Structure 1
Amino acid sequence: MASRQDIIELEKKFWQTMVDRDVDTATAMMADTAIVTGAQGAASIDTKTFAKMMKEGSWSLRSFKLDKLQVQFTNDDTAIIGYEVTEKLTVDGKPLELTAYDASVWTRVDGDWKCALHTESVKGDPFGRDRVKAAA
């Protein structure tokens, strides 16, 4: 059975693939089709589509830091991890730092852990009031 630390290390390894733009390792860590949710909506993404997104994105992740990690096992082959992440990125050529709250579901498939779901919510007021004030 995997430990809490094993799941944390899987999540960190996946984030590091984004820093390194290591498409092969990232797609090998994904389920054949994964669900991704965030500010742009929810989507089912296969590994080929994900690889294209990594290669063609107008962003780069320079570094990340995971904090306040929570890990829960629903059975021996499924784990859920949630945490706060601080990301240092370059988006459209400009530096950006943000804090978000993320969650992933890892499931064991033929002995290997695969990410089947990833969500991200940018830190802020849950009703968007902080964004409304900024737009006014």
Structure 2
Amino acid sequence: MQDNSRELFALEKKFWQSMVDTDTDTAIELLCEPAFMVSSHGSMKFDHAGYRKMAEQGTMTIESFELSDMEATFPGDSTAVLSYKVHQILSPRGKSDRVEQHMADTSTWVRDGGAWRCVMHTEAPVSG
């Protein structure tokens, strides 16, 4: 499972980098359809088109991130749950204002054929 942990940590970082780079196609390749997200904005279920709209037209953009304290657990051969902390800098789309956040995140990944895909992501604010 150690090799799978490293692979999944790399995929999680790739997903985050795709948000910084506004590389929606890469993000969609890493997502199940549908997928779920739970945040301070509530719970949502979205398909690939819905994710594309959020990523390309949403009110906030991710400028930078730093992931730490990554852990993985494997409830089955084709399921993994990642837990980690993230320090992220966001900006309102098209503006130079910045918002700094410290969050605790989880992502649930499932093996879809030969590839891992994220089916669920949660985030909650924590004190810095």
TM-score, normalisation: structure 2: 0.92
Q: Does 1:113 align with 2:126?
A: no
Who wins on radius of gyration, i.e. which is larger?
1
Q: After TM superposition, where is structure 1 displaced by more than 4 Å over at least 4 residues in a row? A: none
Report the Cα distance in structure 1 between the residues aligned to 2:116 and 2:49, rounded to whole angstroms: 18
- What is the Cα-based RMSD across aligned positions, in Å? 1.2
Q: What is the deviation of 1:70? A: 1.3
* Equivalence for 1:102: 105
Whole-angstrom CA distance in 1 between matches of 2:92 and 2:67 = 20
TM-score, normalised on structure 1? 0.86
Return 5+ residue gaps in structure 1 as ranges: 125-136
The alpha carbon displacement at 1:28 in A equals: 1.1
Number of positions where the alignment pairs a residue of Structure 1 with one of Structure 2: 124
Secondary structure of 1:3's counterpart equals helix
2:53 is aligned with 1:49: no
Q: How many Å separate the matches in 1 of 2:4 and 2:109?
A: 12
Tell me, in whole angstroms, the C-alpha distance in 2 between the residues paired with 1:103 and 1:123.
Answer: 13
Q: C-alpha offsets along residues 18-41 of structure 1, whole Å, 9 cap, x if unaligned?
A: 000001111111001001001111
